[in-house]
Chain A
C-alpha cells in the first residue's frame, strides 16, 4: 500500500517531500507525487505517515 496526493487540492508547499523518510515524494510537472514503490506508509520509521500528518489541506494526502 502507499499514500497518494490529490493533485487538484495540493498547494505544492513541499512539507511532505521534506518529511518523507524514504524520499518517496518528488516534484513532477509542478505537482508533488508519491512513488508507491518507495512509500512504506512510514511503518518502520514513525507511528503515523509523516506526509499526511503535515499536509495543510484536509483529505489531500490519503491512502491510495
Chain B
C-alpha cells in the first residue's frame, strides 16, 4: 500500500480505478481523517491552508509536489549569490531555469503536469527573477491557471522590494502563501549582500540600497500578515556575513507576523559565476546549519526541508522531473484531466491517517525509552513517509533527530548516487560519508555489504532491517533494538555493548 504513493509507482500506469480499489480495501472507513490530521501546534484554519503544501508543511512534503513556472525573468535587485546568466539543466538551485515561459506556455505546462503528476498541489512563481517586479506576467499566469484548475494552491516568492504595490491584488487573487527572502534586518549587513537595488527609477547602492530594501520588506511583511496571508521567510545563511545575525532576523520576522522561517545554506561555487562563488565566500556545513537552526527554537517556526529548487522545478521531495515537461514535450492543445489528482487526494488522506497514527504510537513508545540524548538517523526514502529506498539509489538522505522530546525531521543531505549501473563507486562513497557528517545510523530498504562496511569504518551504522516501515516507526524500532528494551541505558552504552 505504501508503495502506491511513491512517484516511481505512479510512473507505471496506475489508473484512478486501481487507486480507488486499493483505498477501499479495508482500513480507515472515513474518507478524510479530520481532527487526527490536525497538527497539534496549529490553529485549525491555518492547518487547513498548509496541510497540502509541501513547503509549508513538513508532513505534506512526503505526499505532495510543487511546480514552479519560470514566467518572471525581470528582477529589481542584485544579490551577491545570484548569477542569472548561468543556466544549466544539470544544476539545481534557485534562479536557474532551462527555459523561460510566457504565461500561455506556463498554462499548457501546468495542465500537462497536473494531469500527469497527481501529487501536484502547488503552483509557485519564484522567478527566475522577481515575481512581484515582473508582476504583469505573474498575474497573467495565475489568472489563466486559476480559471482552469481552481483547486491548485497559488504561491509566490519575492525579494519584497516591489511587494507593497501588489499586496491588495495578491489578496484578491486568493494567493494565500507568499515567500519573502529576508537575509538581514540590519542595513549594514545588507550592504555586504546586495550590491544594488533599482527603486523609484534609480539604481541605489551600498547602505542606502540596503536600507530601502529593509524598509520595504518590513512594510510588505506587515501588510501581508494584516491580511492573514501566510508568509514564509527564506533566509540564506552566509557564514561570516549574516550567520549570527539570522537569530535577530528570526525574532523580528516573528514579531511582524511571519508564519515560517526557512534558513537555507548559501550555495557558492566559482563555476556558477556568482560574486560569492568567484570571491571564495563559502556556504555553511550541514552541522553549522543545524547549530543555527537549533538556536532558533524559541522564535518563528522553522522549515527544515527546503529543497532550494530551480525556478522551473516539478516534483516531489528532491526529485525534479522538469526535463520531462519542457515545452517541446507539452502538446499544443493540452486538456486537463482531473481524475488522477482526485483519486490521489483520496488515497493520501487515508495514508496520512495511518502515518499520523503510526507517529503517535511511536511517540508513546519513545516516552518509555528514557535517556536517549540525541541520535541522528539518515533515511533513504522515495516518498510516502516510508523507508523505501535503496542506499545506492538515494540522491539525498532525510535526517531525523531522536531526543527525549521525540523524533523530529531536521534536514536533508544531498549526495551523488552511489550505485552506478549495478556497482558502486568508491569515490562517490567517500562523498556520501562526508555528507553524512554527524549521522549515527542510516536506515534504508537495501544496502550491500561493501558500503555498509565502509560506513561502519567511518563510524556510521547502516541497516535495511526496517525496509518499508513508516519512517518514525522504523527509527523507534531501531532505537528499541539498540537499547535492548532496557530504558535506563543511555544510547552510547548500548551502542558500545553491541559493537
Chain A residues closer than 8 Å to B75, beta-carbon distance:
13, 15, 56
Within 8 A of B (CB), among A1-45: 9, 11-15, 18-19
Interface centre among A48, A56, A57, by most chain B C-beta atoms within 10 angstroms, is A56
**Please, how many residues of chain A have a CB less than 8 angstroms from a CB on the other chain?**
16
A56 to chain B, nearest CB (A): 6
Q: Which residue of A lies closest to B136 (CB)?
A: A18
A62 at the interface (CB under 8 A from B): no
Interface string of B390-423 (1 = CB under 8 A from A): 0000000000000000000000000000000000
Chain B residues closer than 8 Å to A57, beta-carbon distance:
85
Tell me whether A13 and B202 are in contact (CB under 8 A): no
Tell me whether A13 and B74 are in contact (CB under 8 A): yes
- With A14-B73, A15-B129 given, is the CB distance from A53 to B203 under 8 Å? yes
Interface SS majority for chain B: loop
Tell me whether B73 and A13 are in contact (CB under 8 A): yes
Tell me whether B203 and A13 are in contact (CB under 8 A): no
Of A11, A14, A48, A54, which one neighbours B76 at CB under 8 angstroms?
A54
Rounded to whole angstroms, the CA-CA distance of A43 and B202 in the bound complex is: 14
Q: Which residue of A lies closest to B129 (CB)?
A: A13
Rounded to whole angstroms, the CA-CA distance of A15 and B198 in the bound complex is: 11
**Please, how many residues of chain B have a CB less than 8 angstroms from a CB on the other chain?**
16
Tell me whether B134 and A56 are in contact (CB under 8 A): no
Rounded to whole angstroms, the CA-CA distance of A48 and B128 in the bound complex is: 26
Interface string of B185-217 (1 = CB under 8 A from A): 000000000000010011100000000000000
Rounded to whole angstroms, the CA-CA distance of A48 and B201 in the bound complex is: 8
Tell me whether A54 and B129 are in contact (CB under 8 A): no
Tell me whether A47 and B202 are in contact (CB under 8 A): yes
Interface string of B119-155 (1 = CB under 8 A from A): 0000000001100011000000000000000000000
Within 8 A of A (CB), among B13-48: none
B468 at the interface (CB under 8 A from A): no
B49 at the interface (CB under 8 A from A): no
- With A13-B73, A14-B134, A18-B74 given, is the CB distance from A53 to B129 under 8 Å? no
Interface centre among A15, A47, A50, by most chain B C-beta atoms within 10 angstroms, is A15
Interface SS majority for chain A: loop
Chain B residues closer than 8 Å to A54, beta-carbon distance:
74, 76, 198, 203
Rounded to whole angstroms, the CA-CA distance of A14 and B266 in the bound complex is: 27
Chain A residues closer than 8 Å to B100, beta-carbon distance:
12
Rounded to whole angstroms, the CA-CA distance of A56 and B100 in the bound complex is: 16
Interface centre among A11, A19, A48, A53, by most chain B C-beta atoms within 10 angstroms, is A11
Q: Which residue of A lies closest to B86 (CB)?
A: A11
A3 to chain B, nearest CB (A): 14
B150 to chain A, nearest CB (A): 29
Q: Which residue of B lies closest to A9 (CB)?
A: B85
Rounded to whole angstroms, the CA-CA distance of A13 and B128 in the bound complex is: 9
Chain B residues closer than 8 Å to A50, beta-carbon distance:
201
Tell me whether B85 and A11 are in contact (CB under 8 A): yes
Tell me whether A56 and B202 are in contact (CB under 8 A): no
B92 at the interface (CB under 8 A from A): no
Chain B residues closer than 8 Å to A11, beta-carbon distance:
73, 84-85
Q: Which residue of B lies closest to A16 (CB)?
A: B74
Q: Which residue of A lies closest to B203 (CB)?
A: A53
A15 to chain B, nearest CB (A): 4
Rounded to whole angstroms, the CA-CA distance of A57 and B134 in the bound complex is: 17
Chain B residues closer than 8 Å to A47, beta-carbon distance:
201-202
A32 to chain B, nearest CB (A): 11
Rounded to whole angstroms, the CA-CA distance of A53 and B100 in the bound complex is: 22
Tell me whether B202 and A12 are in contact (CB under 8 A): no
Rounded to whole angstroms, the CA-CA distance of A14 and B70 in the bound complex is: 13
A4 to chain B, nearest CB (A): 18
Rounded to whole angstroms, the CA-CA distance of A56 and B85 in the bound complex is: 9
A1 to chain B, nearest CB (A): 20
Chain A residues closer than 8 Å to B115, beta-carbon distance:
none
Rounded to whole angstroms, the CA-CA distance of A9 and B133 in the bound complex is: 22
Of A14, A46, A48, A53, which one neighbours B74 at CB under 8 angstroms?
A14
Interface string of B45-79 (1 = CB under 8 A from A): 00000000000000000000000000001111010
Tell me whether B201 and A13 are in contact (CB under 8 A): no
Listed by A's residue number, 18 A-B pairs whose Cβ atoms lie within 8 Å are A9-B85, A13-B73, A13-B75, A13-B128, A14-B73, A15-B74, A15-B76, A15-B129, A15-B134, A15-B198, A18-B74, A18-B134, A48-B203, A50-B201, A54-B76, A54-B198, A54-B203, A56-B84
Which residues of B pack against A, CB within 8 Å? 73-76, 78, 84-85, 100, 128-129, 133-134, 198, 201-203
Beyond the given pairs A11-B85, A14-B74, A15-B76, 12 more chain A to chain B contacts, judged by CB atoms under 8 angstroms and listed by A's residue number, are A9-B85, A11-B73, A12-B73, A12-B100, A13-B73, A15-B129, A18-B74, A47-B201, A53-B201, A53-B202, A54-B74, A56-B129
